[in-house]
């Protein structure tokens, strides 16, 4: 029970951190109150936190039974495992995202998230329960099939939160001139994901636009 409680507190604190950071950033940009949400949205956000706790505990349970193996050393594997995690999850989430948009799964589990045409930080947590569990299953499957480095996992989780927040700011935090830089050009920026909310037939990637460019689903 202690592990359950700790993982729930962890998820709630991370959610609070994301919402607070998004609110402060948008407030500095002159936007109105962004933390005002109705009871239904807070209920879904709470449910998402609960299900993320289930995913976290499941990973912990699998690790205890050595089904998930995690390396604890500090070595070159931190970088290589981080890159592998980043691009592997980006590809898996692209494929899943594309799939639910092109099947009846869209109406069943994904339309809820797309009710936000102009997303805000809260919308990161407005997900159908099955969608939350599906993304969690992709994450756990990757950890089962490959023994990642613990520091790569921790860095990746921070990066994941940053991309999740920026993708749902509703505005682009990066100056326009930076979008032409070689690396940033291929990242899944706030504009990239905002365009997906405006036109759900394009931009299915999460961290990069690489797969959209490769498979012809990219829209600038």
Residues 90-104 as b or e (16 or more Cβ within 10 Å = b): bbbbbebbbebbeee
Closest CA to 77 of 141, 158, 154, 150: 150
Confidence (pLDDT) at 28: 82
Report the alpha-carbon distance of residue 166 to residue 162 in Å, rounded.
Answer: 6
Closest CA to 21 of 122, 117, 115: 122
Over its length of 220 residues, how does the chain's per-residue pLDDT go in tens digits?
Answer: 888 999 999 999 999 999 998 888 888 877 665 556 788 889 999 999 999 999 999 999 999 999 999 999 998 899 999 999 999 999 999 999 999 999 998 888 888 888 878 788 898 999 999 999 999 999 999 999 999 999 999 999 999 999 999 888 878 777 777 667 777 788 888 888 888 888 889 999 999 999 999 999 998 7
Cβ atoms of residues 168 and 121 within 8 Å? yes
Closest CA to 41 of 118, 136, 120, 157: 120
Residues 123-137 as b or e (16 or more Cβ within 10 Å = b): bbbbbbeebbbbbbe
Kindly tell me the sign of the dihedral angle through the C-alpha atoms of 108, 138, 13, 191: negative
pTM value?
Answer: 0.91
Confidence (pLDDT) at 135: 94
Report the alpha-carbon distance of residue 157 to residue 217 in Å, rounded.
Answer: 26
Phi, psi values for residue 188, rounded to 5°: -80, 85
The SS3 of residue 94 is: helix
Confidence (pLDDT) at 32: 61
Phi, psi values for residue 47, rounded to 5°: -65, -40
Report the alpha-carbon distance of residue 75 to residue 84 in Å, rounded.
Answer: 15
Residue 184: both structure tokens together: 């940033």
């Amino acid at each position: 029970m202690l592990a359950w409680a700790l993982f729930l507190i962890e998820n709630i604190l991370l959610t609070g951190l994301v919402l607070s950071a998004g609110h402060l950033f948008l407030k500095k940009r002159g936007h109105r109150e962004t933390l005002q949400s109705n009871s239904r949205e807070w209920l879904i956000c709470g449910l998402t936190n609960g299900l993320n706790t289930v995913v976290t505990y499941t990973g912990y349970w699998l690790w205890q039974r050595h089904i998930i193996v995690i390396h604890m050393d500090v070595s070159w594997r931190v970088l290589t495992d981080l890159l592998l995690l980043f691009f592997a999850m980006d590809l898996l989430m692209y494929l899943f995202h594309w799939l639910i948009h092109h099947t009846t799964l869209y109406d069943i589990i994904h339309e809820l998230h797309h009710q936000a045409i102009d997303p805000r930080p809260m919308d990161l947590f407005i997900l159908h329960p099955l969608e939350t569990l599906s993304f969690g299953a992709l994450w756990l499957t990757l950890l089962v099939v490959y023994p990642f480095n613990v520091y790569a996992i921790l860095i990746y989780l921070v990066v994941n939160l940053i991309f999740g927040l920026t993708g749902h700011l509703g505005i682009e935090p990066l100056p326009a001139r930076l979008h032409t830089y070689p690396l940033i050009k291929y990242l899944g920026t706030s504009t990239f994901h905002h365009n997906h909310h405006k036109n759900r037939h394009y931009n299915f990637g999460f961290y990069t636009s690489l797969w959209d460019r490769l498979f012809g689903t990219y829209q600038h």
